[in-house]
Amino acid sequence: MNRLVSIERACLVGHILALVFGLAGLLLVLPNPHFIGALPPFGLKLFGWSMAGGGVVYILLGAATASLFAYRLLGLRTWLSFMIPAVGLSLGSELLGTSTGFPFGHYRYLNGLGYKIAGLVPFTIPLSWFYVGISTYILARVALDATGMKPWLKQIVAIALGALLLTAWDFVLDPAMSQTPYPFWEFQDPGQFFGMPYRNLSGWFATGVVFMSVASLFWRRLELKLTRSQLLTPLAIYLANFAFGAAITVAQLDVRFWIPTSISVLLGVVPAIACWRLGQPTLPETAVTDAVNESLRTQVKTAVGVGR
């Protein structure tokens, strides 16, 4: 288990470093061609690789981090019962969106996010829905499990809150990825909300609600008694991805885009931190006692075995 924790932390650190590296490339290197021209051959090769595959790397590391976290603390079945619906349903939504314009509006993906499924949707996109989606849903579930709310109502509110946190991320992600000088996708019918169609936001919320609802059917008997320390991983994933989009939006777009960024903070960052605060400060005393007793039993069995 300690080995899994180490691998999970390494993936999280790598995910965050890849986001930082991508920010440096988009905000510092690309806007300064003379800097690129001064790079040695190896530097040019590294820069070219990073621009071609950097987006793929940070998404893969994010998905790996979320997967290890869920597998380690919740188990294989619980992890897969979220990941499979999240990846499958978000991919279906994206394929429908890029083909018909429903539910996000008419848009298309450019280059930089990896191989495109059916020539339309990069394979990394449903992975990003998964790792941010499971992070927001876990934060929401833990917060609501700390209340005395009825189970059926708790499930509904957790789905709505998780989908809201997921959609709040899009307030900074979409402008950063579609309207800056180096876009990764583009809307073919720019909308009234800072270049985004309103249905793009409703499409994000609806997609999150759909796959979180399916996952909640498998998680309905599960109570997430996680500590704040354990919840640092999903919180870090959410805040790091928010910061990536917000930094690009604020740095490369005009002052009007402080409005969607502020909305994203109010609807996403603040509630996410509040959900984290509702996690248990430490493990319950009974859990600690059970762990100690299990350790003692193991030691006794080992001693008896050695004696024989």
Instruction: Give the tens place of pLDDT for each residue, 187-205.
Output: 988 788 999 999 999 999 9
The letter for the amino acid at 108 is R
What is the torsion angle, in degrees rounded to the nearest 10, for the CA atoms of residue 258, residue 262, residue 268 and residue 270? 140
Question: Which residue's structure tokens are 């848009």?
Answer: 107
Higher pLDDT, 43 or 92: 92
Confidence of residue 307 (pLDDT cuts 50, 70, 90): very low
- 275: pLDDT strictly greater than 50: yes
Mean pLDDT of 54-74: 96
Distance CA 264, CA 299 (A): 51
Distance CA 89, CA 176 (A): 24
Mean of per-residue pLDDT scores for the chain? 89
Question: Among 240-254, 258-272, 287-301, which stretch is predicted with the lowest mean pLDDT?
Answer: 287-301
- CA angle, corner 192, sides to 186 and 195, nearest 5? 30
Distance CA 207, CA 148 (A): 28
Mean pLDDT of 241-256: 96
Confidence of residue 283 (pLDDT cuts 50, 70, 90): low
Distance CA 169, CA 167 (A): 5
